[in-house]
Amino acid sequence: MSLLQKLVLASGSPRRIELLQQAGIEPDRVLPADVDETPLRAEHPRSLAKRLSKEKAEKAFASLKTEADYAPGFVLAADTVVAVGRRILPKAETLDDAANCLGLLSGRSHRVYSGICLITPGGKLRQRLVETRVRFKRLPREEIDAYVASGEWRGKAGGYAVQGLAGAFVVKLVGSYTNIVGLPLYETVALLSGEGFKVHGGWLAGARP
């Protein structure tokens, strides 16, 4: 792979790394970009997802440019937001966060938004926003308590991880499943491919003669 084909993932999320690997894409570098994720006053959930993914990509891109051995590459960032109506749910960090989120999601529909931002080696910025609608079954208190005790919710937007135990809560899903996990693969691969990144290079490298 040439220098211009290097990929930097501006996220330390194990889920996003695994999803890229699932698509046959191995980041050359993982460079988490920490930004203030506090929503602005009256900010819509979809606007928050787009803004944060852009800020993360730009911060990682700027950080790379200060390195002596910096070589241009693609910088990919993403941010996922869970919302009920316009109400943005937190990334659960405490037991109360998780329990409150699950109580709010119980028996209701919610939306998961992911903003994806790609900065090309030439500095061109491209963005996508992906929305998935999810409906949870009604969750009795004992089920909420059991899920909170599992610890799977920690650090997850909306207080749950759909790829784990909470997959059993989903009554209906409309849209991208991988979006809920943390990185919508179809849109991400299309974005990379559209800017000239050889997304199938890893597939060919693993092919047998």
Please give the structure tokens belonging to residue 176. 């991208």
d(CA 56, CA 39): 15
Q: Which residue has the tokens 């220098």?
A: 3
Q: Is 147 within 8 Å of 97 (Cβ atoms)?
A: no
Beta strands in 87-124 (DSSP E): 87-88, 109-119
Sign of CA dihedral 106, 111, 115, 116: positive
> Is 63 buried (19+), middle (13-18) or exposed (0-12) by CB count in 10 A?
middle
CB atoms < 10 A from the CB of 124, how many? 9
Examine the residue annotation and report whether 79 is marked as an active-site residue of this protein.
yes
CA 205 centroid distance within chain = 27
Considering 28, 34, 69, 79, which one is annotated as catalytic?
79
Catalytic machinery residues: 79
